[in-house]
Amino acid sequence: MNLIFLGAPGAGKGTHSALVSKHLNIPTISTGDLLRAAIKEGSALGKEAEGYMKRGDLVPDQLVIDLMRERIAKSDCKDGFILDGFPRTVAQAQALEDLGIGIDAVVNIDVEDEQIVKRMSGRRVCNGCAATYHTIYKPSRTGEACENCGLTLVIREDDKPETVSARLQVYHEKTAPLIAYYEAKGNLQTVRGREELEETTKAVFEALSL
């Protein structure tokens, strides 16, 4: 199964792709995680992407398309994959189509902007494996450390309120048009992202008939 998770920053794409990934035993490919890893490594891609990400802007299409093309070609994707945060522009969606890869479903998690801003202030991420937590909605059972690898949980650099507003603006301008794009293709499933994580998870699994 090849799936796409669509939605505003903080809508819950990463959280739910991780759950569906575990259920279906297929990898999640998060462009955000790949880019953050490239920054940590200090690679040429990381150096180029860093400024855009700090401002809350999108990294240029061609850089992300090349990154995804390479990642999807790896052997762990042969039985399917979940894309989290890609495509994010119509040009990226067209590039994905040009690769000749069929998409079975696109799950759009719909959350109001006010809710997103409130939510982002409580997000914590693992400095090692990038697992995501929330101080209220999904606290780590081990306090300030990651449940998976024990490393420290941190606030993501682009989760500052001013950067979150910039990211939301970019989302409405450049990514939201993908809702109509996939609706026209007939494989869009919109799920309302509710305050309770479990309710959203249930709706996501129902939308995918899992």
Name the residues that contact ligand AP5, by CB under 6 A: 7, 9-15, 30-32, 35, 52-53, 56-59, 64, 85-86, 88, 92, 119, 123, 132-134, 137-138, 158, 167, 193-195, 197, 200
Half-sphere exposure for 86 (CA within 13 Å, toward CB): 30
CB of 133 to ligand AP5, least distance (A): 6
**Of 13, 36, 71, 124, which one is the catalytic site residue?**
13
Catalytic hit among 69, 156, 174, 194: 156
88 is catalytic: yes
Instruction: For the CB of residue 175, give the shortest distance to ligand AP5 in the complex, in Å.
Output: 8
Is 36 a known active-site residue? Answer: no
Please confirm, yes or no, whether 119 is among the known catalytic residues: no
Smallest distance from ligand AP5 to CB 56, Å:
6
Alpha-helical (H) ranges within the chain are 13-24, 31-41, 44-55, 61-72, 90-98, 113-120, 161-170, 177-185, 197-207
Closest approach, Cβ 147 to ligand AP5, in A, equals 13
Taking the C-alpha atoms of residue 210 and residue 202, their distance in angstroms, rounded to an integer, is 10
Q: Between residues 121 and 187, which has the closer beta carbon with respect to ligand AP5?
A: 121
- Pick the closer one to ligand AP5 by CB: 3 or 35: 35
Whether the CA torsion 197, 79, 182, 117 is positive or negative: it is positive
202 part of the active site: no
123 labelled catalytic: yes
> Of 8, 20, 6, which is closest to residue 209 (Cα–Cα)?
20
Residue 166 and residue 57 in contact, taking contact as beta carbons nearer than 8 Å: yes
**Are the C-beta atoms of 178 and 6 separated by less than 8 Å?**
yes
Annotated catalytic residues are: 13, 88, 123, 156, 167
